[in-house]
Structure 1
Amino acid sequence: MTKYEYLKNTPLKQAVEEYIEALKKAGTTYKTETIATADALGRVTAAAVYARRCCPHYCASAMDGIALMSEKTFGAAENTPVILSSEDYKNIDTGDPLPDKSDCVIMVEDLIEAGGGKMMLHKAAVPWQNVRKIGEDICKGDMITTSFTVMTPSLIGAFLAGGVFSFEAITVPKIAIIPTGDEIVDGSKEELKNGAIPEFNSAIFSAMLCEWGAKAVVFPIVADKLELLCECIEKASRENDAVIVIAGSSAGRDDYTAEALKKSGTLVFHGIAIKPGKPAVLGHIGNVPFVGVPGYPVSGIIVMEEIFKSVLPLLTGRRYENAPKLQARLTKQTVSSLKYKEYIRCRVGFLDSKAVAVPMGRGAGIVTGFAKASGIFTIPQSSEGKQRGEDVEISLLKPLDELKNSVMIVGSHDPLLDEVADILKLTGSGVEVSSSHVGSMGGITAIKNGEAHMGAIHLLDINSGEYNKSYVRTYFPKDTAVLIRGVGRIQGLMVKRGNPENIKGLKDIAEKKLSYINRQKGSGTRVLLDYLLKKEGIEAVSIYGYTREEYTHTAVAATVAAQSAQAGLGILSAAKIYELDFIPLYSEQYDFLVAESALSDERVKSFLEVLNSDIFKQRLERMGGYTFESIGQIVEIG
């Protein structure tokens, strides 16, 4: 078997600097065109722009009133008013040219009619008062703006005022995006066969390019054939200002991006010391930049942000601001290798004005995780990771005000959290919900360590059969946290529609050796499963799939629906989403643990108000499997 290797594992900073230098030597630069000023919003000036006329180009009245020689008003005062005859002045409106033999304007509010066309003044005028002088705004020949300036509404007005009706602008660069892969299919198709991967990376990258002032040109999907890819990138490089190839950049047998580039142009780097994003390919075809991005969407986004965005100023003339940053305390140890600079997504929230960061899953293919993340921190290439409680620098992905207005909920997953978040949005409360699904024990730990406002928990005491109370007594003996009643839920087995295996309970799964999908350790559902197995005398090792874990009820349901597992324990609302059969096993209580100090927090209050609302209950009734007895009330722990 052929051994595939990356050409390099170059540090990011070095790779970007050397790549930009290589592009400059290849002659990569922007193009220009003449455009109409009125249509120039968001465009970039290619050169300094100078006024072609004065504004105003005549002496103009700045007020409605009368124009006259100021000397005729001298001596006017409160006790010695001056009377003007109709021959002493001329009526004038704002913007009118100043008449000959006039050097000032008195606004109408300061005039007192004295009859017969006469005007009485109690205050003397001064020369050139209320007069817009020639070139007051700008004079012919003055520079209105510099090169590489992004046109704003006010600049458009300034250009037109200065007689600049068209100007030389940087042409919006066209960036070719070429999706590749035999397994890739049109992402707009609703029905997908197993093995078919929907193509949506091009939509993500197109939107990013639009934000950066470039235009995407998406090519049809190219199969994994070297000659087809070579043909496509040659065409793309002739017709566009840069080329991005999606996938085929790794070291597999059908990964042809680097090889195709070498046939058509120059390969500068293959393999960057970042994770995700290592298999990036950097080069150029003549003076046209070429970037091969990995097929996993998060990897691609990182390469676009960290590499392609750094190259783009050569084509757009723009400066791109770095994301706002802040320091936040890490809630979980994050381990990394020494080989790469690693990018970790996280959720950020504020507790007592202190920012905390909850690390999220690192999968390079989890694009929804990127969309939900509120920030990113990095682990340097030379570091083994970050410790829990350590301050890290976060590059924000969401507005700071939104993060400050977020209620942080850590713990067990339930779709109802999303429903609360949506209702808060609809009511215009300004409060956001930031939820991290780490299991019920994770919720208890977060509250105990001051890392969340609320913990979502459903933990069964296998001795007493009650939910949550004993855990609060054990972990919060000094009453530093309060338990708020949430909802009752039905837990049961989710199975394929029609229940073809005739599953009645957990014994059937063990005896028939059916495949099972479990929840992660520390989750309330995992605790319940262990309790039920023990109660029925079933060994965990007899459940095929016991060690196979998912982090949410909907992920378990999706796995069963895809027939990747034959059963999984979860809640009725998740089963209904995926049209699965549901075999009820146990009634449980899903509650909210709140730090006592957070009870008076307005964000927590807003969350609890929604919890008690009719619209929330109506939504959960439609979802099915919930009860609302004493919802929102403080539970007596005893």
Structure 2
Amino acid sequence: MVVQRVRAWRERAGIGAAELARRAGLTRQALHRVETGAVEPGIHTALTLARELGTAVETLFELAPGETLAEPVGDAPAPGSRVRLARVGERTLALPLGAEDSFTWAADGVAGPPRPDGALPVTPTGDALALAARTVVVAGCDPSLRLLAAAVPGAAGRVLVRSLPSEEALRTVARGEAHGAAVHLWDTGTGSLNHAALDFALGPLGFSVHRLWTWTQGWMVAPGNPRGIRRAADLAGRGVRLANRPPGAGSRVLLDAWLAEAGVSPADVGGHDRLVASPAEVARAIRAGEADVGVGPQAVAAAHGLDFVPVQVEPVELVVPAAHARHPALAALLAAAASPALHAQLATLGGYDPAGAGQVTLVRPARRSA
């Protein structure tokens, strides 16, 4: 909550409530709600009241003891929700803990009611604010990013993973809501990461690209592959049910390319418009008998007890804006990506090749706006 001293300063200045309301462009009732703490004023109202009372905004309004302000990202947390905090540039971000994460990760604080300007009061726990400054946020859909995050020594910092498709992960970085995006966007022309997609998503930002690993992508199918799916042409006109990823996901880019190469129209593929949020959701739909096939990595198929038909090897790379390149936790993350301990973990999953992990594959300087 916010402690307000508007009434005390108004009375000290000898200004009546009606007069201050008139000067500030408020109704008498609106000013009363501010003075009694029933509502928290927006930025414009707070600045106007401070100007009319001849003092600073910080004198009239301050957070209750022990609170800090953050910007919510993702789903706005409800009051009382547990959140984790991260400092990205000059912004403190609040990331809600999902239902499963709530039983895995400690919270950095508890969210209060959002202010009218959208800011989120958070009551932090322990040294959460210091930890937020040492935290790197990585967006991407590869489930092994969580293994990578766990491999970063706590003394070096912390890595938080936001599960997002590749193109949305890039947009999240461009909006300043993550330090890096782990992406797999196949370029059928070059057979490598699509650099044009990076340029488009990040605009004039300078950035670097770091190899994490390659993984094998292909058809995830039910045990025994009862529908006999081996290639894109097998999806057309046979009543095969697809579990698909949304546009902008790396696996969706692959599927669209394979269908086009085979001359198959998406309209002829059952379930092409059935979209799920992650490779794991694709696998779960197949395992539950709700779909027959989906595109995904070998490791996810194995983890869910599915059969897998390999199609191609694809790079997974970390894209980092130049503004975050010197973050200490980022260096620790790249070191962990190259560590034998993590490579041993990836080997148990299947389909990963971490050769060259941590190496810089591209540096793009900032571009001047036209």
Seq. identity, %: 24
Match of 1:566 among 292, 300, 311: 292
Q: 1:473 to 1:353 in 2, by over 3 A?
A: closer
Offset, 1:413: 1.4
Quote the RMSD (CA, aligned, Å). Answer: 3.1
Contact 2:286 2:292 in 1 (8 A): yes
Offset, 1:374: 5.3
2: CA distance between counterparts of 1:326 and 1:603? 23
Identify the residue that residue 21 of structure 1 maps to in structure 2. none
Identify the residue that residue 273 of structure 2 maps to in structure 1. 547
2: CA distance between counterparts of 1:558 and 1:324? 43
Contact 1:351 1:453 in 2 (8 A): yes
Q: 1:541 to 1:345 in 2, by over 3 A?
A: farther
**In structure 2, what residue type is equivalent to 1:423?**
A
Identify the residue that residue 422 of structure 1 maps to in structure 2. 150
Q: 1:398 to 1:503 in 2, by over 3 A?
A: farther
**In structure 2, what residue type is equivalent to 1:351?**
V
Match of 1:461 among 182, 187, 191: 187
Identify the residue that residue 367 of structure 1 maps to in structure 2. 99
Identify the residue that residue 225 of structure 2 maps to in structure 1. 499
Flag the structure with more relative contact order, 1 or 2, with Cα contacts below 8 A and sequence separation at least 6: 2
2: CA distance between counterparts of 1:621 and 1:520? 29
1: CA distance between counterparts of 2:111 and 2:207? 30
Is it true that 1:441 corresponds to 2:167 in the alignment?
yes
Alignment of 1:382-421 (within 5 A): 390-396=118-124, 400=128, 401-410=130-139, 412-421=140-149
2: CA distance between counterparts of 1:559 and 1:517? 7
Identify the residue that residue 594 of structure 1 maps to in structure 2. 320
Identify the residue that residue 38 of structure 1 maps to in structure 2. none
**Structure with greater Cα Rg:** 1
Offset, 1:430: 4.9
Is it true that 1:533 corresponds to 2:259 in the alignment?
yes
Alignment of 1:203-282 (within 5 A): none
Q: 1:379 to 1:519 in 2, by over 3 A?
A: farther
Contact 1:409 1:454 in 2 (8 A): yes
SS in 1 for 2:348: helix
1: CA distance between counterparts of 2:363 and 2:188? 17
Q: 1:377 to 1:550 in 2, by over 3 A?
A: farther
2: CA distance between counterparts of 1:402 and 1:342? 22
**In structure 2, what residue type is equivalent to 1:467?**
L
Deviations 1:589-638 (A, max 9, x none): 11000111212111101101101111111111121111233321111358
Q: 1:379 to 1:573 in 2, by over 3 A?
A: same
2: CA distance between counterparts of 1:546 and 1:503? 16
Q: 1:333 to 1:501 in 2, by over 3 A?
A: closer
Alignment of 1:101-500 (within 5 A): 325-331=67-73, 347-352=84-89, 354-358=91-95, 367-371=99-103, 377=111, 390-396=118-124, 400=128, 401-410=130-139, 412-424=140-152, 427-476=153-202, 478=204, 480-500=206-226
Contact 1:350 1:404 in 2 (8 A): yes
Q: Structure 1 unaligned segments of length 5 or more: list them.
A: 1-321, 361-365
2: CA distance between counterparts of 1:451 and 1:443? 9
Offset, 1:541: 2.6
Contact 1:469 1:637 in 2 (8 A): no
Q: 1:636 to 1:345 in 2, by over 3 A?
A: same
Q: Structure 2 unaligned segments of length 5 or more: list them.
A: 1-63, 365-370
Deviations 1:402-429 (A, max 9, x none): 433321011x2112212112222xx443
Contact 1:473 1:637 in 2 (8 A): no
* Count of aligned positions: 298
